[in-house]
Amino acid sequence: MQSIIDLLEQLKHALEALSDKQYTTPVKVLSGATIGQHTRHILEFFTELNKGYENGIVDYDKRLRDHTIESDKLFAINVMNEVAVSILRPDKQLVLHVEYGDIPTNYFRELIYNMEHMVHHMALIRIGIGTISDIVVPGEFGVAASTLKYRQSCVQ
């Protein structure tokens, strides 16, 4: 869980460095998506997982698209803080509902999925930040843990 909290902190620091306008500016290299839209997408997966924890069924396709997250940077940061606290739960069996059926899963497995999904979108956010600003994000921002481990082994 600490890895997810660390990623949320990285994302929060990057967003804090952006202006409100930069957060909501469409970025051409992101097919016109905004950093706010990618942030919303990340956070809504965690929110949907938390709903699923309560009722036993996770359905990412039925997540609400809360446009306040993508348009209000401070609101998004508050949601990030809520997510960081809410993920600290014990593991339990869940059902993942997808278009082609229901799949048995568990909370920790879905947290790992959400973490990897988050890293993928952070990589896109990194590109967006580099396109619309001079902000420098940490070298590990948006890089998978396995890639970081591989890079470290190459250094030795």
Coil, helix or strand at residue 143: coil
pLDDT (0 to 100) of residue 84: 96
Q: What is the pLDDT of residues 76-108, one digit of tens each?
A: 999 999 999 999 999 999 999 999 999 999 999
Task: For residues 36-53, give the mean pLDDT.
Answer: 97
**Which are the contacts of 34, defined by CB distance < 8 A and separation ≥ 6?**
23, 24, 25, 26, 27, 70, 128
* pLDDT at position 2: 85
* Mean pLDDT score of the chain: 93
pLDDT in tens, 11-33: 999 999 999 999 999 999 999 99
Q: Write the CB contacts of 58 (distance below 8 Å, at least 6 apart in sequence).
A: 48, 49, 51, 52, 94, 95, 96, 97, 105, 110
Going from the C-alpha of 151 to that of each of 116, 120, 134, 145, the distances in angstroms are: 18, 18, 25, 10
pLDDT more than 90, % of the chain: 83
* Domains, the chain, ordered by start: 2-155 (1.20.120.450)
C-alpha 135/C-alpha 126 separation (Å) is 10
pLDDT at res. 17: 96
Contact 94, 53 (CB under 8 A): yes
Nearest to 21 by CA among 42, 11, 35: 35
156: pLDDT confidence band, cut at 50, 70 and 90?
low
Residue 68 has pLDDT above 70, yes or no: yes
